[in-house]
Amino acid sequence: MKKITTIILVTTLVFLVSVSTVFSFWGKKSKTLIPKNDAVKISTADITDGKAHYFKVKANDGIMVSFFVLKSRDNVIRAAIDACDVCYRSGKGYVQEGDFMVCTNCGRKFASERINEVKGGCNPAPLKRKISGKDLVVEMKDINANSWYCKYKKQ
**Model confidence over 46-88: pLDDT tens digits?**
999 999 999 999 999 999 999 999 999 999 999 999 999 999 9
- The answer to whether 69 and 55 have CB atoms below 8 angstroms apart is yes
Q: What's the CATH fold of domain 28-150?
A: Rieske Iron-sulfur Protein (2.102.10)
In the chain, where the domains are located: 28-150
Identify the top-confidence range among 2-6, 13-17, 119-123, 144-148: 144-148
C-alpha to C-alpha distance for 47 and 138, rounded to whole angstroms: 14
Straight-line distance from the first to the last Cα atom of the chain, in angstroms, rounded to the nearest whole number: 45
- What residue spans of the chain are helical by DSSP H? 2-26, 140-145
pLDDT digit string, tens, across residues 112-147: 999 999 989 889 999 999 999 999 999 999 999 999
CA–CA dist 108, 124 (Å, integer)? 11
